[in-house]
């Protein structure tokens, strides 16, 4: 029997405003780590997790990248640099059958994590990129994204969410729970209500996909939180608890946005401080 494989794949690079990514942290502190371009954008990636569990007959995606359904205005703002035709092609390129994806686990519905749920057909009509997959979203995130506030409405794609809703492939998840013997979700809500983190039991130990709790490794510093977070103090509490736990258990952490390395382990380094040791494996693209 093939052992389960946990891989990561970068869908695209993008540029997001450095001040927005770092919240209250002054630019002199972050600009040496994340040099901004002439429009104050820092380079990030949009990274997905791929978990192939042949014994259970499941192929999981953890987030699906920015997708390709973007016009010139968004392109000008976010400077998307796509890694290939789309995520389906990228998966096929590393040996996964995109039509075999059984589960799409969305951490949350911000476009840089969920934009890839939709592709355009030959006639330009939108359809699901992974039509056979169940799409797991926290119920609280789904309700929020369908009626966002004026502050965060620009982070969601109502047209994409309508395609998912009409497909009948949406699975609303209520709180933390196991989705099967190897995959469970944790819930943290400081970034956006009902953000869920995929936790995977591999033969090498536990892995946790951090989504926007720790978007890049710089964010292991507790006060480094995006300006997007609607409850930053809650993010600090959740981040402290999860990083302490990960340090204790030697959990492999996966980053959704860090351009330098997909994986890391952390160690505690005094009160509220963590040291990060980043790495990549042959399964990371
Ligand atoms: Zn987000």
Which tens digits make up the pLDDT trace of 210-241?
Answer: 999 999 999 999 999 999 999 999 999 999 99
d(CA 161, CA 250): 36
Say if residues 170 and 135 touch (Cβ distance below 8 Å): yes
pLDDT confidence band for 1 (50 / 70 / 90)? low
E-state strands within the chain: 5-17, 41-53, 58-62, 81-82, 103-105, 118-120, 126-128, 134-138, 170-173, 177-178, 183-188, 195-202, 205-209, 252-254, 263-268, 274-279
Q: Once rounded to an integer, what is the mean pLDDT over residues 15-29? A: 97
Q: Once rounded to an integer, what is the mean pLDDT over residues 190-201? A: 98
∠ CA 277-213-32, nearest 5°, is 55
pLDDT confidence band for 270 (50 / 70 / 90)? confident
pLDDT in tens, 162-179: 999 999 999 999 999 999
Quote the ligand 1 centre to 54 CA distance (angstroms): 30
Closest by alpha carbon to 62, among 25, 16, 101? 101
d(CA 262, CA 279): 7
Quote the ligand 1 centre to 189 CA distance (angstroms): 11
Sheet holding 252-254, edge to edge: 177-178, 183-188, 195-202, 205-209, 252-254, 263-268, 274-279
Q: Provide the pLDDT for residue 116.
A: 98
Quote the ligand 1 centre to 123 CA distance (angstroms): 31
Side-chain half-sphere CA neighbours of 224 within 13 A: 21
CA Rg value for the chain: 18
Q: Which fold has domain 5-279?
A: Metallo-beta-lactamase; Chain A (3.60.15)
Q: What phi and psi, each to the nearest 5 degrees, are found at residue 103?
A: -145, 125
Quote the ligand 1 centre to 155 CA distance (angstroms): 8
Domain extent listing, the chain: 5-279
Quote the ligand 1 centre to 108 CA distance (angstroms): 7
pLDDT confidence band for 271 (50 / 70 / 90)? confident
Q: Provide the pLDDT for residue 221.
A: 97
**Is pLDDT at 261 greater than 90 in this prediction?**
yes
Q: Provide the pLDDT for residue 98.
A: 97
Element (H, E) at 146: helix 139-146
Quote the ligand 1 centre to 110 CA distance (angstroms): 5
User: What three-state secondary structure class fits 65?
Assistant: strand
d(CA 121, CA 118): 10
Q: Provide the pLDDT for residue 170.
A: 98
Q: Once rounded to an integer, what is the mean pLDDT over residues 83-98? A: 96
Closest by alpha carbon to 55, among 109, 93, 1? 1
Q: Provide the pLDDT for residue 122.
A: 84
Quote the ligand 1 centre to 180 CA distance (angstroms): 25
In the chain the first and final C-alpha atoms are separated, in Å, by 24
Quote the ligand 1 centre to 195 CA distance (angstroms): 9
pLDDT in tens, 101-141: 999 999 999 999 999 999 998 899 999 999 999 999 999 99
* Average pLDDT value for the chain: 97
pTM: 0.97
């Amino acid at each position: 029997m093939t052992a389960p494989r946990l891989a990561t794949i970068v869908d695209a690079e993008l540029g997001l405003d450095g001040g927005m990514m770092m919240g209250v942290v002054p630019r002199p502190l972050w600009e040496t780590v994340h040099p901004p371009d002439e429009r104050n954008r820092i380079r990030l990636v949009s990274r997905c997790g791929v978990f192939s569990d042949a014994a259970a007959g499941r192929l999981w995606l953890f987030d699906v990248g920015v997708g390709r359904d973007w016009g010139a205005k968004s392109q000008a703002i976010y400077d998307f640099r796509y890694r290939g035709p789309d995520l389906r092609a990228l998966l096929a390129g590393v040996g996964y059958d995109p039509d075999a994806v059984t589960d799409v686990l969305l951490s949350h519905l911000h476009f840089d994590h969920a934009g890839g749920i939709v592709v355009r057909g030959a006639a330009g009509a939108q359809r699901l990129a992974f039509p056979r997959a169940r799409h797991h979203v926290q119920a609280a995130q789904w309700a929020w994204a369908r009626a966002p506030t004026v502050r965060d409405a620009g982070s969601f794609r109502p047209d994409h969410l309508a395609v998912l809703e009409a497909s009948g492939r949406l699975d609303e998840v209520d709180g933390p729970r196991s989705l099967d013997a190897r995959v469970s979700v944790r819930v943290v809500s400081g970034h956006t209500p009902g953000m869920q983190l995929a936790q995977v039991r591999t033969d090498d130990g536990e892995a946790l996909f951090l989504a926007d709790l720790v978007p890049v490794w710089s964010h292991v510093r507790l006060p480094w939180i995006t300006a997007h977070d609607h409850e930053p103090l809650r993010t600090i509490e959740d981040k402290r608890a999860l990083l302490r736990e990960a340090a204790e258990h030697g959990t492999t952490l996966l980053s959704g946005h860090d351009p330098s390395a997909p994986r890391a382990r952390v160690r505690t380094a005094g009160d509220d401080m963590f040291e990060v040791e980043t790495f990549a494996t042959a399964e990371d693209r």
